[in-house]
Amino acid sequence: MKLRMLRPRDLALALRDLARRSPREAEEYLGAHQEQWDHLASVDPQDAADILEAIDKETAADLIVGLGSEVAADVLEEMRHEAAADILEELDPEAAARFVADLPAGEAADIIGALEPEMAEELISFLPIDIEAQISKLLAYPPDSAGGLMSPDPANLPRDITTGEAIEALRRLSEHLENLSYVYVVDESNRLVGVVSFRELVFARPGRALDEVMVPNPVAVRPETDREDVAALIQRYSLLAVPVVDHRGVLIGMVEVDEVLEAIQREATEDIAAMVGAGTEETIYTPVTRSIRSRLPWTAFNLATAFLIALVIAGFEDTIDRVAILAAYMPVVASVGGNSGAQSQAIVIRAMAVDDIPRQWKRRIVLRSLLVGLFIGVTIGALSGAIATAFTQEPRIGLVIGLAAFTNLVVANLAGSGIPLLLDKVGQDPALASNIFMTMITDLVGFGGFLAIATLLL
C-alpha cells in the first residue's frame, strides 16, 4: 500500500476514493494506521465524514470512538444526519452523548431526530441539562419548519451601545459563535429591533451609536414558518440568514442559507419520491419494514389500475382478434402520451415547489397545457399515422393510430398539469403519487381509446 507516501491532502482524497471503491480495504488500512486517521479527522473532517459514510458502520463507530470528542463532533457534523445516527446507534447512549454534547445544538437535534426513538430518549438523558433543554426545544418543532432548521444562538447585541463597544463584544462572542455575517440588535426585552452586518460595524466610527448603523425592522420569520417560505424570503431579499422570532418578537434563533439549501434539496427529493408513490421520508438509511409500509399501498393501487386497464383491453378482444396488428401498436400510443404528460406534470410541480404559481394563473396553466397538447398531438398524430401506414400499407390503421395518439397526447397534457393542481386544491401534497394517477389515465386512454377508435373505424 503506497498511501503512506502521499501528502496529507492527497492521502485524504485517496482514502476517500478507496473507501468508496473498496470499503473493506479502506477499513483495513485505517485500522492499521490510526495516527493517519487521527490527523485526517482533525484537519479534514469533510473527507473523514465521506470515508465513514462509505465503510461499514461498526468499523466507522470504532474509528469515531478513537477520536477526541471535539474532533469526533466535527466529523459527525459533516456527515448526513442519517449516516451519523447509524454510527451513534452502534455506541452505548452515554458514549454517544459525549460526542453529541460537542455538536452545535441545531446539528445535534437533526442527528438525534434521525435516531430510533428509544435510542434518542436514552441519549438525551445523558446530556448536560442546559444542552438537553436546547435540543429538546428544537426537536419540538417540525423538521420542515424554521424552528426545526434554526440555530438557537445567533449573534445579538443590545441597541444602546456604540459600534466600538459592539466590535469588542463580538470579539468575545466569536469564541463560541461561528457565524457573524449578521449581528442582530435587540432591545432590553430581547425583542428583535434591527440587524447590522459585520462589515458595517468594522467601517463605522467607533463612537457611533449602534442603532444609527443598523437596519431597523429586518425580515424575520416565526418558528412554525414552512421551510419553503423561509427559502423564498432568503432568495427574494438575497440574505445569508434570516432571524426567527416568537409571537412577542423575541429573537430565538437564526436560519442560515446553507440549512435552507439542504432543506430545499430534501424537498426536491421528497417530491420525486412522492411522484412515484415512495415514502417522502424514505432514504437509503430507512429501515426495510418502514419502506415496505410506505410503498406497499401504492404498489397495490398500481396493481389495481393495471388490472383495470387489462379489463378495458379485454372488452375489445373481438377487435384485436380481427385486426391482430393492433396489439403491436397499442404500447406506442400509450408511451407517447405518458412521456408528454410526465413533462407537463414536472413543469407544474416544479413551479409549485417554489411557490411560483399565482392563484389566478391556474386556469391559464391548464389552458396552456391544452394548447401544447393540441399542437404536439397534431404533429405526433400525423407522424405516427404516416409511419404506421408505411409499415402496414393500410391507411385506415394509420388513421386509427394517428387519432389515438392525438387524443392521448391532449388528455396526457391536461392530466399532467391538472392532477397536481387538483391535489393542491383538496389540501394534498401536489407530488403525492401524481405520476401513478397520470399513468393510469394515459394508459386507459392510450389502450382503451385506441381500441375504441379502431372498433369504430375498422
Rounded CA-CA distance 314/308 in Å is 10
Question: Distances in Å between the alpha carbon of 161 and those of 193, 196, 250, 317?
Answer: 14, 13, 19, 86
For residue 267, pLDDT beyond 80: no
How much is the pLDDT for 245?
95
Sign of CA dihedral 210, 213, 215, 220: negative
Model confidence pLDDT, tens digit, residues 27-51: 888 888 888 888 888 888 988 998 8
DSSP string, 158-206: ETTSBHHHHHHHHHHHTTT-S--SEEEEE-TT-BEEEEEEHHHHHHS-T
At residue 456, does pLDDT exceed 70? Answer: yes
> What pLDDT does 264 receive?
65
Amino acid 186: pLDDT: 94
Query: How many whole angstroms separate alpha carbon 324 and alpha carbon 317?
Result: 10
Please state, in angstroms and as integers, the Cα–Cα distance from residue 376 to each residue in 130, 343, 371, 407, following that order.
Answer: 63, 12, 9, 11
Q: Which residue has the cell 442519517?
A: 82
Angle between helices 93-100 and 69-78 (to 10 degrees): 80
In percent, the amount of the chain with pLDDT more than 90 equals 24
Q: May I ask the CATH class of domain 288-457?
A: mainly alpha
Contact 404, 385 (CB under 8 A): no
Q: Which of 151, 155, 152 is nearest to 167 (CA)?
A: 155
- The domain ranges of the chain are 3-149, 156-256, 288-457
Which 3 state secondary structure label does DSSP give 315? coil
Mean pLDDT value of segment 18-35: 84
pLDDT above 70 as % of the chain = 87
Residue range 156-256, CATH number: 3.10.580.10
Whole-model pTM: value is: 0.61
| Residue 353 pLDDT exceeds 80 | no
Taking the C-alpha atoms of residue 351 and residue 354, their distance in angstroms, rounded to an integer, is 6
Which residue's C-alpha cell is 482514502? Answer: 15
DSSP E strand boundaries for 92-176 = 156-158
Q: Which residues on neighbouring strands pair with residue 184, listed in sequence order?
A: 156, 195
Cβ neighbours of residue 286 under 8 Å, at least 6 residues apart?
Answer: 279
pLDDT tens digits, 81-99: 888 999 999 998 998 999 9
Mean pLDDT of the chain: 84
pLDDT, mean of residues 343-364: 73
Cβ 417 vs Cβ 386: under 8 Å:
no
Query: For residue 287, what pLDDT is reported?
Result: 64
Cell of 427: 389540501
How far is the C-alpha of 318 from the C-alpha of 422, rounded, in Å? 37
Least confident range of 242-251, 260-269, 388-397, 403-412: 260-269
Cβ-contact 138, 152 below 8 angstroms: yes
Band of residue 249 on the pLDDT scale cut at 50, 70, 90: very high
Predicted confidence at residue 263, as pLDDT, reads 66
CATH architecture of residue range(s) 3-149: Alpha Horseshoe (1.25)
3-state SS class at 245: strand
Of 336, 345, 317, the residue nearest 448 (C-alpha): 317
Strand-strand pairing, 156-158 and 182-186: parallel
pLDDT, tens digit (0-9, with 9 covering 90-100), for 285-302: 566 776 777 777 877 887
CA-closest candidate to residue 407, choices 308, 344, 336, 328:
336
Residues 244 and 252: their CA atoms lie apart, in Å, by: 6
347: pLDDT confidence band, cut at 50, 70 and 90? confident
Residue 74's pLDDT is what?
92
Domains 3-149 and 288-457 share a fold: no
